[in-house]
Amino acid sequence: MRGVALALGGGGVRGYAHLGVLAVLEEAGVPIRALAGSSAGALAAAAWAFGHKDPWKIHQAVFDEEVAQLRRAGNLKLLARLFAAFRRPSLMDPSRVEEGLKRLFGEARLEDSPIPLAIQAADLLTGEGVVLRRGPVWKAVLASAAIPGLFPPVLWEGRLLVDGDVAEKVPVRAAKALFPKVVAVDVSNPPPKEPPRTALEAALLAGEASRRRLKDLALKEADLVLVLNPPFPIDTFDHEKLPLVYQLGQKRAQERLKEIQALARFRPQDLLRLPRGRPRPA
C-alpha cells in the first residue's frame, strides 16, 4: 500500500511546523495513511485528521486567550520560578485551552477520525506511555499537552495523564502500530550550548536531557526523520514565531520530499509488515 504514517513530536509553538510538513506532502500527493502525535504534535495530528489545516485558525481557536495569559505571566523560565515559589498543583488554569479545543473539535471522537489517529500521553504516576485511540478528541489533546507543573493532569479512565513528551516525545511506536512506513518529525530545539546559571535551570536541563535521550532512541525506529533545526532556539510559548516555524516545516519537507516519495511507494515486502489488527486502545 502506498503512503506513510507520520509521527509528530512535541515542541510548543514549534508544533505548527507539522502543518507545514503535511501541507507539502498533501500538495505532492503523498498519501498520509496514519497520524500519531505527542503534545503539540497531538494537536497538529488531530487538527489535520479532522480537516483543520490552517495554522492561524487553529491558533485563534485554541490559544488566543491562553497566550495573553502566558505573556502576562512571562516566559517559561519565569513560570518555572513562580512554580517553585507557589504551592499548588499547577500554574495555569486549563479552562481556556479546554474551551478552545472544544470549539475546534466539538463532539468529535478519536475512533471517528477519517484516517487512523493515535494520541500519545503519559501516566503521571508510572511514567508509562499511554496511546489514546478512542474518546473525545479535545480531551485526548488536552491530556497529551498537559505539561507537568504548568497544567494539571487529565483524568482518563482512572489514570492521571500528562504531556506525551514525558514518555515519547516523537511517538514513532504509536505510528508504527498503525502503518509500517513512518516519517518522524522532530521539532525540538537544539541542545543548549551554555551551562545552567541556577540550580533550577540545572534541574530543568536534566529533565530535558532525559527526554532527549528517549526521543533519540525512538527516532531510530523511524524509516525517515525530519528535523526542524531552527536557526535559533524558539521558546515554547513564543507564538509570534508561528509563521517562521510553519515555513520551516514546509522547507524541511521540500528538502526531503524525494526521499519521502520513494518511501511512500508500494513495496511487496511491506505486506509482511502491515499491523495485524489495531493496537489496543486506552
So which residues are the catalytic ones? 39, 163
| Backbone angles phi and psi of 161, in degrees to 5 | -105, 140
Cα(195)–Cα(228) distance, rounded to whole angstroms?
Answer: 23
Cα(92)–Cα(10) distance, rounded to whole angstroms?
Answer: 19
State the DSSP string of 20-33. Answer: HHHHHHHHTT--EE
> Residue 48 half-sphere exposure, CB side, CA atoms within 13 Å?
32
The amino acid at 272: L
Distance of CA 143 to the CA centre of its chain: 11
What is the chain's Cα-based Rg? 18
Cα(9)–Cα(19) distance, rounded to whole angstroms?
Answer: 12
Question: What are the respective helix, strand and coil percentages of the chain, to the nearest 5?
Answer: 50, 15, 35
Cα(179)–Cα(6) distance, rounded to whole angstroms?
Answer: 9
**All cell numbers assigned to 117:** 489517529
Query: Which residues does residue 118 pair with via DSSP β-bridges, in sequence order?
Result: 36
Closest Cα to residue 181, out of 280, 250, 267, 115? 267
3-class state of residue 242 by DSSP? helix
Distance of CA 161 to the CA centre of its chain: 15
CA distance between the termini of the chain: 27
